[in-house]
Amino acid sequence: MRVVAVAGAKGGVGKTAAAVNLAVIASAAGYRTLLWDLDPQGAATHCYRARAKVKGGASRLLGGKRDLQTYVRSTDHLRLDLLPADPSFRVVDTILSARRWPDRVIRKLLRSLDGSYDVVVLDCAPGLGVVTESILAASDVVVAPIIPAPLAVRSLDQLDEFVAEHRSGVPVVAFLSMLDERKVLHRQVLTQVRGDRRFALAAVPVSSAVERMGMEQVPAVVASPRNLAATAYRRLWAEVEERLGLERPAVTVVDLDIPEDGSPEVVDDAVAPGDEGAPRAEVP
Ligand SMILES: Nc1ncnc2c1ncn2[C@@H]1O[C@H](COP(=O)(O)OP(=O)(O)OP(=O)(O)O)[C@@H](O)[C@H]1O
Ligand SMILES: [Mg+2]
């Protein structure tokens, strides 16, 4: 079982959007997948049409007296389960700080699921606190969305330092999130990160297909599989899969309507990274 944490210090950068889409891509590729929504806001839970409620709340769940599997719910998607959020996750740092070995809690809980899942995706709340330490200790890779702004790119250094301090050796896969290539600054940041090996080649463009997820409660890669953001999430998953050294399971994959030749069809306003031929309006 491999654990993918979608995490970072900054809020509102696309962590949940990535977690929701990567999880369904993994399940469609044949991996038995669990998405654990660790954010009290419960945005990922909402995208999967579930109620953000866990019986007994965070203290009972983290207490570990009950098997983690008892909190798991199925989703509308084959091979994809959900561990929903709960508003009480707001005090998770306090609960963990009171434990003798806070950094071991999440890892120990996840161990009880070993054998049931191939991939676990953790949608983390923003911040680098005690809970992130515990998540790191359980994770095989950290996926970090970075919005194309100079300060945001520096927040990756912060995450790298945090990882080096608490769990050195865990790979961090950063990617540009909400990229709008009509903007000069975004293009400059894109050029800058192209030479930075910490960044995935996949960059997720700004797209209304992703925005609509909150309303339609369907992952963008399912609702709009040919959208450029959906294509970017699939490429990102391929890079994460490679970093994890995963081998595709020999099962029937779910067709997410992925174009055979890999050439995406633009069906909404998503802006293609590196789409040099497209007419471009300058947006400051
Ligand atoms: N590629 C995208 N294109 C357009 N909008 C996006 C994209 N990715 C995310 N968003 C929007 O940006 C907002 C923040 O995204 P998201 O909730 O995924 O961020 P987050 O990092 O999980 O936030 P938080 O730190 O609050 O948990 C949401 O309204 C989402 O719909
Ligand atoms: Mg989120």
pLDDT tens digits along 164-215: 999 889 999 999 999 999 999 999 999 999 989 999 999 999 999 999 999 9
Sign of the four-CA dihedral 199, 205, 209, 212 = positive
SS3 206: coil
Q: Whose CA is nearest to atom 30 of ligand 1?
A: 211
Ligand number nearest to the C-alpha of 224: 1
- Ligand 1 pocket (Cβ < 6 Å) reads 11-17, 39, 41, 43, 125-126, 177-178, 204, 206-207, 210-211, 214, 229
Ligand number nearest to the C-alpha of 207: 1
pLDDT of residue 141: 97
SS3 145: strand
**Whether residue 281 has pLDDT greater than 60:** no
Distance CA 122, CA 4 (A): 6
pLDDT tens digits along 206-263: 999 999 999 999 999 999 999 999 999 999 999 999 999 988 887 767 777 655 454 5
Rg (CA), the chain: 18
pLDDT of residue 165: 94
pLDDT tens digits along 23-67: 999 999 999 999 999 999 999 999 999 999 999 999 999 998 889
Every domain of the chain and the residues it spans: 2-244
Number of H helices, E strands in the chain: 12, 8
SS3 117: strand
pLDDT tens digits along 121-141: 999 999 999 999 999 999 999
Distance CA 85, CA 39 (A): 6
**pTM score of the predicted model:** 0.91
Mean pLDDT of 101-109: 94
* CATH code of domain 2-244: 3.40.50.300
Widest pairwise Cα distance in the chain: 59
